[in-house]
Homo-oligomer: A and B are copies of this chain.
Amino acid sequence: MATQLTLRMGDGGDDRPVGRFRAVIAYRGTEFSGVAENRDVRTVAGELRAVLEPVVKRPVELALAGRTDAGVHARAQVISFDAPADLDTARIVKSVNGRLGPDIVMRQLEAAPDPDFHARFSARWRRYRYTVNDGPCADPLAAGVQWWTKWPLDLDRMRLAVDPLIGEHDFSSFCRRPAGDLAVSLVRRVTEARWSRTDDGLLRFEIQANAFCQQMVRSIVGLSVEVGRGHISAGSVRSILLARDRARAGQMAPAHGLVLWQVGYDDGYGAV
């Protein structure tokens, strides 16, 4: 921390003390090429940094709790960054939201109580929600936030399908392995995985885990829907999990039905 702090103070030509801040943000993923910064494309982190830097008047390096894929939404993503310690957080939120478009918003901002707080490394769990419309037609009012499958689905079968995923497992069958990296662990601990039918007749999937690997939720949803259609048996999910083979999980569900719902920290931050 200390080294980084000194460097930063030099960078900005500014000797105000620097502190760690954390924020909860929400975004509609539709128009973004993912969350992480990436040259030449519009990303959530890129857009936020471009707005934050002139407001806090120094270079900002953002940490994000969850690396959501292109098109995935967030209700309560958590970010952290360093900025002048005397920042007026209420003013910054107002100023940032005034400059952001309608598809990102900063919901909260505060000085982190622990200077080592890190949006990603301090997080204890992440929770995602996926919404499926298995009714006879699409809902134009929910365009872009739910997946219309075109087939009715069997909730009971889908419930059974995801049961074997709870616990600590190697999710290689459900995850895209970072390019060429055979050493990276795809073991994750899933504490909840549940399909339900909402009062509006939609199918909702809620999943919580210590962390997720890439494409994991969309692969699980895609497989659940195959089970719900009757194309494969609920019992086959366990053997697909044990196979640790990416080719076994089948088609991923589309990104637009998925929302990063909440990120959990020891001190309860992130609950909005």
Report A's interface with B, CB cutoff 8 A: 26-28, 73, 75, 93, 97, 102-107, 136-141, 143, 145, 259
Quickly give the copy total for this chain: 2
The 9 closest A-B pairs by CB, nearest first: A28-B140, A105-B137, A103-B140, A102-B143, A27-B140, A26-B140, A105-B138, A105-B140, A73-B141
Complex-state Cα separation, A141 to B139, whole angstroms: 15
Complex-state Cα separation, A26 to B143, whole angstroms: 12
Other 10 A-B pairs with CB < 8 A, given A73-B140, A73-B141, A102-B143: A27-B140, A28-B140, A75-B141, A97-B137, A97-B138, A103-B140, A103-B143, A105-B139, A107-B137, A141-B145
Interfacial chain B residues near A73, Cβ < 8 Å:
140-141
Complex-state Cα separation, A28 to B93, whole angstroms: 31
Complex-state Cα separation, A103 to B138, whole angstroms: 9
Residue in B27, B103, B138, B259 whose CB lies within 8 Å of A102: B138
Interfacial chain B residues near A143, Cβ < 8 Å:
28, 102-103
Complex-state Cα separation, A80 to B155, whole angstroms: 36
Interfacial chain B residues near A97, Cβ < 8 Å:
137-138
Q: Which residue of chain B is the closest to A103 with respect to CB atoms?
A: B140
By CB atoms of chain B within 10 A, which of A73, A104, A137, A141 has the most?
Answer: A141
Q: Which residue of chain B is the closest to A145 with respect to CB atoms?
A: B141
**Pair B141/A259 contact, Cβ less than 8 Å:** yes
